[in-house]
Structures are given as C-alpha cells and as structure tokens.
Amino acid sequence: MPRSFRHAWRTLLTGTLTAASSIAFAQAPGPAPTPGTSGVTPFGSVTPIWQGKADLDGGGDFGVIGAVLRAGVTAPFGTGNFGGAVFNYDYLDYDFSGNTAFGAGPWGVVQRYGMSFPFVLRGGDGWIFGITPTLDWFRENGASWSDSLTYGALVSATKSFAPDRRLGLGVAAFYRLEETTIFPFLIVDWRLSERWRIVNPLAAGPTGPAGIELDYKLTDTWSLGFGGAWRSQRFRLSESGPTPSGIGEERGVPLFARLSRRFGPQSSFYVYAGAIVGGKLRLEDRNGNEIREVSFDPAPLLGATFSYRF
C-alpha cells in the first residue's frame, strides 16, 4: 500500500476512532490503525479524565470526573479501501455544590454508549473519501433509552498533495435530542518542517467539528502539542430528576497542551493539561425548550490516554 494512502487513511479515521465528548481529553487521539495486507486490526484505548471545579454565574460550582473507553476493529476490502466498527463508552460524574443557578444540581452521572462504522474509499489522483454513520445513546442514569438516541453521519474528501501534506473538507449532520445540527469541518495533516506539523487532534462528530493542533516532534518517540476545539454534548435527563426527561448540555472551547510517547508501532501514551473556556451549561425541557443557560468560569482539565493496536 502506498505510504501516502496509509497517512491519508490515518488522518480520516483518527477522528472516528477517538470519538466524541466536549471534554478535550475524552477526545484523546489513540494510535489510529495503519491497516496493511494482514487483514483485521483490533484496537482499544482507555482515558481517565478530570475537570476541576468551576464557578457558575449566579452561584455554586461544578466539576466532572470520568473515563472513556474505545474499542474497535478495521479491515481492508477491495483495493485500497477499508471499513471498521468502533464501540464507545463514556462515564461522566457531574458534581454540583453550593446554591447553584439551577437550584438543585440539574444532573448527576451521565453515560454514553455508542457505535460508529467508518468507511474509507480510495479514489484517483491522491483523493480519499470517507463516510461514517454513527449511533449514540447519551443519557443520565434513569433516563429513557428510547428518548436518548442521537444519530447522524459524516462525509469527507481529502486530497494528498505530498506524502506529508494533506487537506480535506467534510460535512456532518446529526440529530441530537430535539436538535438537528449540520456543520462543515476541516481535515488537515500538514508538515511545516522536519519537526512541526498541523493536525486534527480531536474528533469531528456529534459533539462538534474536529479540533486543530500544532504538533512538535521532540524525538522519534516523544512529541508535544498545543490545540483546541469547539465541543458540545447533549444528553437526556432522568425521568425522576429535577427536570423529568429534560435535556442537559455542556459546551465550551477546550484548550490544551499534550505530551505523548510512542512505544513502537502498536501503543502510545498521552498526557494532557488545559482548560475549558467560554463554557456554558444549558437546561431544557423534554421538548428542547430552554429553561436556563448559565456560563461558567474557565475549568481546569487533566487527562491521560493509553492506546493499543493489536
């Protein structure tokens, strides 16, 4: 398989393999598989995350701890084409304290169960095309499963101008709990020099467009990065909570620094530190009508990801 196609495959697929969360480190990039002629390639990753306490406008504060698990498989089909299945699980424990602007804490433990099916097709003259259908159940404990389904798809096209210079555009459309979102996103993997390049570190998906990161190669195994993205996550609330079967949303701009280490071609370890800025929490009724929206101060973030490709 030509080296330029392997790189384009990784650029397109990384966004799907690292999946979706508004918390930057829930988007931590794993070692996207570089499928060869050997056939099926399983992979997996685990990411503990911590979002520190942030003051809410109107009183009180909140924080989040949790973990994100990813597992999947990719396989070739035809000449230069690949498909895969990715299974996602997020666990986010929101902790509200003080007399918040929402009154009682609006929600508690939120979990996401999801799956996506990326397909990458090789065209002529350096073009790579991708399509990724996605299904997610994003819900607070006690929420209805049938009312927690979000779904949609991403389509993209990427052009390779050189082995280390690729640009592409995509469009995503998702139904997200009484809301439909359509947005374009940029795909980039562009080497500026021997050590510097611009890449997408985060996933385009139901939570928003892909992020942008400036990556610096320290050694053959160590690298440093700085980046950010726009993230938004929506979830169905418990049937027995303060807002029965309502909708909660957290959105903001995660800014982060990353230090990563590769342990051969199969495994990588990433450590992150940063903050969510411009953050907002939104509470809606079961039909998607706004009840209250509250801004929060910059929230510190820490996280780490270990990824392995079998």
Q: Which residue in 272, 195, 212, 230 sits closest to 25, CA to CA?
A: 272
DSSP string, 60-95: -EEEEEEEEEEEEEEEEETTTEEEEEEEEEEEEEEE
The answer for residues whose C-beta is within 8 angstroms of residue 209's C-beta and 6 or more apart is: 172, 183, 184, 185, 186, 229, 230
Q: Along the 310 residues of the chain, how does pLDDT read in single tens digits?
A: 444 444 444 444 443 333 333 333 433 343 344 444 458 999 999 999 999 999 999 999 999 999 999 999 999 988 889 999 999 999 999 999 988 889 889 999 999 999 999 999 999 999 999 999 999 999 999 999 999 999 999 999 999 999 899 999 999 999 999 999 999 999 999 999 999 999 998 777 777 778 899 999 999 999 999 999 999 999 999 999 999 999 999 999 999 999 999 998 899 999 999 999 999 999 999 999 999 999 999 999 999 999 999 8
SS3 238: coil
Q: How many CB atoms sit inside 10 A of residue 124's CB?
A: 5
Phi, psi of 200 (to 5 degrees): -95, 110
For residue 104, give both structure tokens. 């009682």
The answer for residues whose C-beta is within 8 angstroms of residue 58's C-beta and 6 or more apart is: 100, 101, 294
**In angstroms, rounded to a whole number, what is the distance separating the alpha carbons of residues 288 and 178?**
5
pTM of the predicted model, to two decimals?
Answer: 0.87
**C-alpha dihedral, 76 to 77 to 80 to 81, nearest 10°:** -90
**In angstroms, rounded to a whole number, what is the distance separating the alpha carbons of residues 127 and 211?**
22
**In angstroms, rounded to a whole number, what is the distance separating the alpha carbons of residues 195 and 169?**
25
Q: Which helix (H) or strand (E) holds 164?
A: none
For residue 231, give both structure tokens. 């993230």
For residue 114, give both structure tokens. 């999801």
Q: Which helix (H) or strand (E) holds 205?
A: none
Please say whether the beta carbons of 184 and 170 come within 8 A: yes
Please say whether the beta carbons of 290 and 30 come within 8 A: no
* CA-based torsion, 159, 27, 308, 117: positive or negative: negative
Please say whether the beta carbons of 281 and 106 come within 8 A: yes
Q: Where are the domains of the chain?
A: 3-309
The answer for residues whose C-beta is within 8 angstroms of residue 131's C-beta and 6 or more apart is: 118, 119, 153, 154, 155, 156
